[in-house]
Structure 1
Amino acid sequence: MGAGDGFALNVFLRDGEDVYRTYTTTGRGVERLGSNWTLLDLTPYGRQEQWEDSPEGRPQSAPYQWWRLHDEYGS
């Protein structure tokens, strides 16, 4: 493969008009991504665990408040 070929994973954070790439990996580095939890751990806000601090003015919800079963979503 040449440069720029293959799979890559990028995680971005948008702050108003500014966009930041907070994580990137390519090639074999993607193999460690085995579950939803692993992907959440790479996001800027993580899993929203109690021990995780969010910067002032950023969302911080109770752990797993966002977690719903498929039949608990509205139409």
Structure 2
Amino acid sequence: MSNTVRGLGIGRRMLSELERYAAERGWTAVRLDTNRHLSEAIAMYRSTGYRGTEAYNTEHYAHHWFEKHLTP
């Protein structure tokens, strides 16, 4: 992400919208994966309630897997 948009909260807003979309459709959880070099993403996921989980895919570039249970 360009330095000109860092700190504007765009990532958090996108994540919030994803969670809203999922909850509206009755999904009970959201799962995400990310690369070990994306420390800002890892910190954001953890700070917004995502917890580490076992690997659930074989994505070559994923090193961390997260899950968050949604409230209806």
Give the TM-score normalised by structure 1. 0.28
Which has the bigger relative contact order, CA under 8 A and spacing at least 6?
2
Give the TM-score normalised by structure 2. 0.28
Whose radius of gyration is greater, 1 or 2? 1
